[in-house]
A = this chain, B = another copy of it.
Amino acid sequence: MTEMQNPYLMFLGDVGDQLGAKTAQGIVDWRPEWCIGQMRLEGCKADLGIEDISIEDAVKAGAKTMVIGIVNSGGYLPKHWISKIVDAMHAGLDIASGLHIRLSSIPEIREAAAKTSRKLFDVRHPTEDLPTGKATPRSGKRLLAVGTDCSVGKMYTALAIEKEMKKRGMKVSFAATGQTGIFIAGQGISIDAVVADFISGAVEKLSPENDADHWDIIEGQGSLFHPSFAGVSLGLLHGAQADALVLCHEPTRTHMRGLPHQPLPNLKECMELNLLTAKLTNKHAKFVGISVNTSTLSVTEGDTYLASLEDEYNLPCVDAYRTGVASIVDGLT
C-alpha cells in the first residue's frame, strides 16, 4: 500500500451542500493537523471550518497532497475542476480522490501526472495485487468494529479507540477499509471494492503481524445481517482474526439501511453470529464493548439505554462521541 503524503489541501470544488463534503469533514475532524486549508470554487456550499487557501499558499505551507473528499451526484468529475487539479500537480501536489470515477481515466489529469511525476490516488479503487486469505495465526492484537447495520458508527468508534490508546501511549494503528478512513490513515484498502475472492486476504494485508503488544484497530464495513453486503462483513471478520470485537449500533433505526423490508437484528443475535464466525480464524475472539450512537436520544434516554445494555451484556457500553471509549480501552492490555 502506497501511503499518501500529508499535509493535505482539501479541495471542495463547488459542491452543492455540506453533506457532499462529509468525507472531507471526517478528515478534518480526525486529522486537523494534516489539513492545511480548504480550496473552494465560486458557488461552493460546503465549509470545513478551516482556512481558505490557494494552491500556491498551500504548497508554501508544506502541503503534499490535494484531497478531493467530495461526493457529487453521479460520481463524475465536473469539467471546470480539471484545470484546478492540473494546476495543483504543476504546483507540486499529488492528488487523492474519493470519487467513483478514476482520476487516471481523465486524459488531461493522466497526462499532467505523467509530465509532473505526481501521484494519483483513487481511494475507492484498490490497484494492488492481493493474496487470498490464509488464516495463518499472526502475532499482534487486533480489534474490529462490527455493526448491527451499515452506517452505525464503526469508523468513528475505531478512530476513537485508536485515539484513546495513543493517548495512553499504547502501540496502535488504525486500519482503514473505507474511503474516508483511508484519507484519515493515509493508506488502506476500500474493502467493498476488491474482487470477492480477496476480501479476507486484503484484510490480512491491512493488519499484518506485529509486535505482541501492538493493536490494529480495524474499521468494519456493513453487517453480517445486511443482505446486500454481509459477504464483505464476513470476509473482513475472517481476515481480521480479531481478538476483540466492539458492536456498533444505532438504536432508532427501524430497518436495515436501504432495505425498508429488512428488519434489524437484535444485539444478542448479532453478537452471537459475529462471535461464532469470528472463531473460525481466532478461537479467542470476544466482545469487549458496545458502542451506541445515541445522538437521536436525549442525554437521559441515552444514559439509561447504555446502562441497560451494560446490565444485560456485562460489557462497557459507550457512546463514542458523547461518553468516549475509555471504559472499553480499560479492558484492553
Binding site for B on A (CB under 8 A): 132-137, 191-197, 199-201, 224-225, 227-236, 238-239, 258-259, 261-262, 273, 276-277, 280-281
Contact = CB atoms under 8 A, between A and B. Distances in A.
A195 B195 contact: yes
A261 B238 CA distance: 15
A207 to B, nearest CB: 14
A227 B192 contact: no
Contact of A193 (B192, B196, B199, B239): B196
23 contacts: A132-B258, A133-B227, A134-B228, A135-B261, A135-B262, A191-B196, A193-B196, A196-B232, A196-B235, A197-B228, A197-B229, A200-B227, A224-B277, A227-B238, A227-B239, A230-B234, A230-B235, A230-B238, A230-B277, A231-B231, A231-B236, A232-B235, A273-B277
A232 B281 CA distance: 16
Contacts of A193: 195-197
A259 B134 CA distance: 7
Contacts of A228: 132-135, 197, 200-201
Contacts of A235: 196, 230-232
Contacts of A239: 227
A280 B230 contact: yes
A232 B231 contact: yes
Contact of A280 (B135, B137, B225): B225
Given A197-B232, A231-B235, A231-B236, 8 more contacts: A133-B227, A133-B228, A135-B227, A135-B259, A135-B262, A192-B196, A194-B196, A232-B235
Contact of A231 (B136, B199, B281): B199
Closest 8 interchain pairs by CB? Answer: A231-B235, A135-B227, A231-B231, A192-B197, A199-B231, A133-B228, A227-B238, A132-B228
A120 B64 CA distance: 44
